Amino acid sequence: KRKGTYQVKAMATDSNGDSSGWSEPLSVSIAGSSTVNSPPNKPSTPAGISKGLAGMSYTFIGYATDPNRDALFYTFDWGDGQTTNTDLRTAGLSARASHAWPEAGVYSVRVKATDSSAESPWSAAKRVTIKKDPSQRVSQLMEKLSQELSRKRADLLRSAKGLAEA
């Protein structure tokens, strides 16, 4: 992988194990830079919502540059113990990832970029406040009410059956 001129020879072996002699050398030149890989730069703070509701999915965007113009994949840390890795992205392109927080709370979303052999530091955190979805509470109350009505209906039917038999 270093630039320079190399002499390359080849030998072939068949399925019976018989080998040819070495070929004449072929001169091969490798041009280019012998630059050492540099890690991606620290990504910008993720772009996305600041407030939301539990159980809803929200999309965030991460962006970083790479000094070597290497392709990058991004890791989003959602602040709740979960992370999401994106697919490999062409150098200079942002990445999107979505997440839903199941519980109300304040979360710190951050992102880092990784190339083929190095990773950036984490970005500054985006503070996200998630509140409980009021419709979840209504849904829970409706479920309890439905269960209670079913029990009362069953009790009434048993009472009516008892009166009819008497």
pTM: 0.63
Q: Considering all CA atoms of the chain, what is the largest pairwise distance in Å, rounded to the nearest integer?
A: 112
pLDDT of 137 reads 64
pLDDT of 85 reads 98
CA–CA dist 134, 137 (Å, integer): 5
| Token pair listed for 66 | 């790479």
Per-position pLDDT tens, the chain of length 166:
567 788 899 999 988 989 899 999 888 887 766 568 899 999 999 999 999 999 999 999 999 999 999 999 999 999 999 999 999 999 889 999 999 999 999 999 999 999 999 999 999 999 999 999 877 666 667 788 788 888 888 777 777 777 777 6
For β-strands 57-62 and 95-100, DSSP reports them as: antiparallel
- Which superfamily, per CATH, for 51-132? Immunoglobulins (2.60.40.10)
Domain parsing of the chain, residue ranges: 51-132, 134-166
Classify the C-alpha dihedral 51-55-61-64 as positive or negative: positive
pLDDT of 5 reads 84
φ and ψ of 135, to 5 deg:
-65, -25
pLDDT of 3 reads 73
pLDDT of 166 reads 67
pLDDT of 128 reads 98
Contact call for residues 81 and 107 (beta carbons, < 8 A): no
